[in-house]
Structure 1
Amino acid sequence: MTVASILKQKPDRLISVSETASIADVAATLTRENIGAVPVLDTKGEMIGIFSERDVVRQIAREGVAVLTRAVATMMTRNVICCAPEDTVESTMALMTARRFRHLPVRSDGRIIGMISIGDVVKKRVEDAEREAASLREYIVRG
């Protein structure tokens, strides 16, 4: 199975924020959309970073609530690692586990086309394992 199979199960829209959005606005977006991270886009629509719930918490712990008025571009993670739709679910899970990512943008032809979470990856792996177990049971019963 590939990352594309995960994207097919998700809504066909990319939730993102502008590099000039305040941390408070980004936190509101994360809450409203019930997501854990968003790609940060420049004025041309190109991804220049990623910002997560974890980033909000860490920045407030370091500097206090005054950070909520700062632009997301000042605190986002740059040099974002992405996966591709043709990457396997297994390799993506290994990457996310090794690098301790909970969210991973999906890039195709130089553009961000979606975002997957570790929850999406685990769900897909469980579905695949259940489907394989059912196939094996059927094979054994039917001989």
Structure 2
Amino acid sequence: MQIRELMTSEVESCSPQDSLQQVAQIMSDLDVGIVPIVRDGGYLEGCITDRDIVIRAVAKGMDVNSTRVDECMSENIVSCTPDQSATEAAQMMADNQVRRLPVVEDGRLVGIVAIGDLAVERAADESAGYALSEISEPARPEMH
């Protein structure tokens, strides 16, 4: 099954100039933990997660009302295309230890796919399970 059949295509996004408060409000309103960051024309610049906001801003005492998204967002995001298979996406998630992938076409954001979306497709169940087990694996297992 292709990602275009599984992805969420109505994705709320922010610009790099928006405040952390604005992106946090979107997360709260939509009950999501990640928001893609796009520039004019819908080109994917990066993503910001609730964890990014806490670790990169709140923990450092930064003001969420005046701190811009581009000060805390993650760049060089792993993404997939709508034509990739669920198995390929699951492997990308496992390899990169991420639970969500922005879906881009010609550099523009067209959707997002989560590990839960992959589990919807029966053929992808094994791939999704494998990806989740790999994502849940600590980066440095020797550390406790």
TM-score, normalized by length of structure 2?
A: 0.75
Confirm or deny that 1:128 pairs with 2:123.
yes
Distance 2:81 2:124 in 1: 22
Aligned partner of 1:73 in structure 2 is 70
Equivalent position amino acid for 2:3 in 1: V
2:91 partner SS: helix
Aligned partner of 1:42 in structure 2 is 39
- Percent of matched pairs sharing the same residue: 27
Distance 2:55 2:37 in 1: 18
Unaligned stretches of 5+ residues in structure 1: 131-143
CA-based RMSD: 2.1
Larger Rg: 1
Distance 1:129 1:75 in 2: 33
Once the 2 structures are TM-superposed, how far is the Cα of residue 45 of structure 1 from its aligned partner?
3.2
Task: List, as ranges, runs of 4+ consecutive aligned residues in structure 1 with deviation greater than 3 Å.
Answer: 127-130
In the TM superposition, what whole-angstrom CA distance separates every residue of 1:76-99 from its partner, at most 9, and x where no partner exists? 111112101111111111111221
Confirm or deny that 1:83 pairs with 2:76.
no
Distance 2:6 2:25 in 1: 26
* Structure ranking higher in helix proportion: 1
Matched length: 125
TM-score, normalized by length of structure 1?
A: 0.76
Unaligned stretches of 5+ residues in structure 2: 126-144
1:21 partner SS: coil
Q: Equivalences for 1:3-42 in 2 at 5 Å? A: 3-7=3-7, 10=8, 12-42=9-39
Say whether the 8 Å CA contact 2:57–2:72 is kept in structure 1.
no
In the TM superposition, what whole-angstrom CA distance separates every residue of 1:92-118 from its partner, at most 9, and x where no partner exists? 111112211122110113321001112
